[in-house]
Amino acid sequence: MPASTSASPRNRMATRLRSIPPTIFSEMSALALRTGSLNLGQGFPDRDGPASVVEAAVEALRAGRNQYAPGPGVPELRQAVAEHQARHYGIELDPTSQVIVTAGATEAVAAAVFALVEPGEEMVVLEPYYDSYVACIEMAGGVRRPVTLRAPDFRLDVDALRAAVTDRTRTILLNTPHNPTGAMLDRDELQAVADVALEHDLVVVTDEVYEHLVFDGRRHVPLCTLPGMWDRTVTISSAGKTFSFTGWKVGWVTGPAELVSIVLAAKQWLTFTNAAPLQPAVAHALTQEAGFYEELAGGLQTKRDLLVSGLRELDMDVYLPEATYFATADVRRYGFRDSMEFCLALPERAGVVAIPEQVFFDDQDAGRHLVRWAFCKETSVIEDALGRLAAADLYA
């Protein structure tokens, strides 16, 4: 065997990957399994989506739809996405040139970033981040320019947004409704993003996977519907959250044909295509099961209220999320140095797993004290978790 010189596995890793930590979700879900804890960490629902959609997938498997789907997606799903955009938002799309199917929103984000960001270019992005954004920008050789959403209400600081744009910025990566804070950009905030994009000739990639999981009668407004924004917006969504099939990884990209074809140019070299038998099932979901996500949002709102009021009874400061699966709490009163320490101690002390939100911030002062809790779980699980937290010693 040749003598090893500098060839430790870590040294072999490309430098651009070394600064990207492993995803916190694997670590915390493994911790939940290892300790038998209730997992209020990773954002997946306890209950699957509609049975008719599963049936449609089974039918597609039996009907032999098991070979490569077309790279841009099966025609019926591209058509169904176009109809969905028209029905909900009045956006008219040509399914053959303005819609592509991706391996979840994750691949859509990766393809958009790889396709639009040159090495050394800056991408403005809201923090706390969905963690794949950081990884994708790094892998593209880009530079992230964070705009911090600050507790307790996580509103967009328009001056900070303006200050983040430099002469090296060509893109913004937006996420609304926002993971992990549960905030939704309101009309004025969306308009501010649009103004900045128009002034500086920026393209905006907007991740809207929680578009339907919104509460208290709110309505999601896609950024691309604001005046002047259609031509410069790449919109991303996915069946994972809307239909409670997070494991299927079927997402989509919509927008003007020129931008969609640019994203496809990168996407074709990532997976090329995925989930052939699931794509027709998601088409079925979009056309036949719209009632599902309305009901899902209502149920989630009730669970949000249960979790938030329970955490508040434990004296945490909790921001009431406007959307998504998640609530954010300030845990400073328990005396831990940071939320990572708090979350690593939590399984032992209470048998509950939550996510240290600080890992989604560059600005550690803004995120050090924040913990993300998922409420997309069965009511009994949330009640059990709250009971365990109430019975535990949570102090450092």
Ligand X SMILES: Cc1ncc(COP(=O)(O)O)c(C=O)c1O
- Residue closer to ligand X by CB (options 246, 350) is 246
Q: Residue from 41, 43, 49, 72 that binds ligand X (CB under 6 A)?
A: 43
Least separation in angstroms between CB 244 and ligand X: 11
Least separation in angstroms between CB 395 and ligand X: 31
Interface stretch with ligand X, choices 112-120, 245-253, 334-342, 387-395 (CB under 6 A): 245-253
- Residue closer to ligand X by CB (options 29, 106) is 106
Contact mark string toward ligand X, 321..360, x via CB under 6 A = ----------------------------------------
Q: What is the C-alpha separation between 171 and 344, in angstroms, rounded?
A: 36
Q: What is the C-alpha separation between 166 and 204, in angstroms, rounded?
A: 15
Q: Are 282 and 77 in contact (CB under 8 A)?
A: yes
Least separation in angstroms between CB 107 and ligand X: 7
Q: Residue from 27, 207, 211, 289 that binds ligand X (CB under 6 A)?
A: 207
3-class secondary structure, 58: helix
Maximal C-alpha separation, the chain: 67
Q: What is the C-alpha separation between 32 and 71, in angstroms, rounded?
A: 37
- Residue closer to ligand X by CB (options 246, 358) is 246
Which residues on neighbouring strands pair with residue 356, listed in sequence order? 371
- Stated as kind and residue range, the H or E segment containing 112 is helix 104-116
User: Judged by CB under 6 A, how many residues of this single chain contact ligand X?
Assistant: 14
A 10 A CB-CB count for 348 gives 11
- Residue closer to ligand X by CB (options 74, 323) is 323
Q: Are 237 and 211 in contact (CB under 8 A)?
A: yes
- Residue closer to ligand X by CB (options 168, 218) is 218
3-class secondary structure, 201: coil
Q: Are 131 and 120 in contact (CB under 8 A)?
A: no
Residue 206 near ligand X by CB under 6 A:
no
Scan residues 129-188 and list those touching ligand X (CB under 6 A).
130, 175, 179
Residue 50 near ligand X by CB under 6 A:
no
Residue 280 near ligand X by CB under 6 A:
no
Least separation in angstroms between CB 44 and ligand X: 8
* Cis peptide upstream of residue 180 (ω within 30 degrees of 0): yes
- Residue closer to ligand X by CB (options 128, 256) is 128
- Residue closer to ligand X by CB (options 264, 394) is 264
Residue 209 near ligand X by CB under 6 A:
yes
Residue 249 near ligand X by CB under 6 A:
yes
Contact mark string toward ligand X, 101..130, x via CB under 6 A = ---xxx-----------------------x
CA 349 to chain centroid: 29
Least separation in angstroms between CB 6 and ligand X: 36
Return contacts of 121-124, CB within 8 angstroms, 24+ apart.
Answer: 121/168, 121/169, 121/170, 121/171, 122/166, 122/168, 122/169, 122/170, 123/169, 123/170, 123/171, 123/172, 123/173, 124/161, 124/164, 124/165, 124/169, 124/171, 124/172, 124/173, 124/202
Residue 246 near ligand X by CB under 6 A:
yes
Q: What is the C-alpha separation between 223 and 267, in angstroms, rounded?
A: 22
Interface residue list for ligand X (CB under 6 A): 43, 104-106, 130, 175, 179, 207, 209, 238, 240, 246, 249, 251
